[in-house]
């Protein structure tokens, strides 16, 4: 499946996420971050742990599959401002062919 599971993760500042690709065709890389400090990119096909030390929202894509809606959302901490994430999502959304609504709905859930 060309999805991140779960699509939306809520974690605390300082938590670590292990990105585990189901096969060698997938990676994970940020395309929206609170600041550049939270930018990351994992190698293809290799489980990789990333620690998130900034409050906010990180949007993640699989580079070869983001157009198939392979996008994940990580909410870090309790007091997040989603304006930047929503704006960055709107920018990339035009290049996404399917499953756009799933991401729209997940972002809408974030208070």
Residue ranges in contact with Cu ion by CB under 5 A: 26, 62, 65, 70
How many other CB atoms sit within 10 Å of the CB of residue 48? 15
Minimum distance from CB of 53 to Cu ion (Å)?
A: 26
The torsion angle over the Cα atoms of residues 40, 46, 52 and 56, rounded to 10 degrees, is: 60
Query: 21 or 77, CB closer to Cu ion?
Result: 21
Structure tokens at 17: 């996420």
Query: 60 or 62, CB closer to Cu ion?
Result: 62
Minimum distance from CB of 12 to Cu ion (Å)?
A: 27
């Amino acid at each position: 499946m060309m999805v991140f599971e779960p699509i939306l993760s809520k974690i605390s500042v300082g938590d670590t996420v292990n990105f585990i690709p189901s096969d060698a065709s997938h990676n994970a890389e940020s395309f929206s971050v609170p600041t550049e400090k939270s930018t990351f990119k994992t190698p293809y096909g290799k489980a990789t742990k990333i620690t998130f030390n900034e409050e906010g929202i990180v949007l993640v894509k699989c580079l070869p599959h983001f157009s198939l809606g392979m996008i994940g959302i990580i909410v870090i901490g309790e007091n997040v401002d989603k304006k930047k994430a929503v704006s960055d999502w709107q920018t990339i959304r035009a290049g996404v062919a399917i499953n756009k609504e799933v991401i729209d709905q997940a972002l809408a859930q974030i208070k």
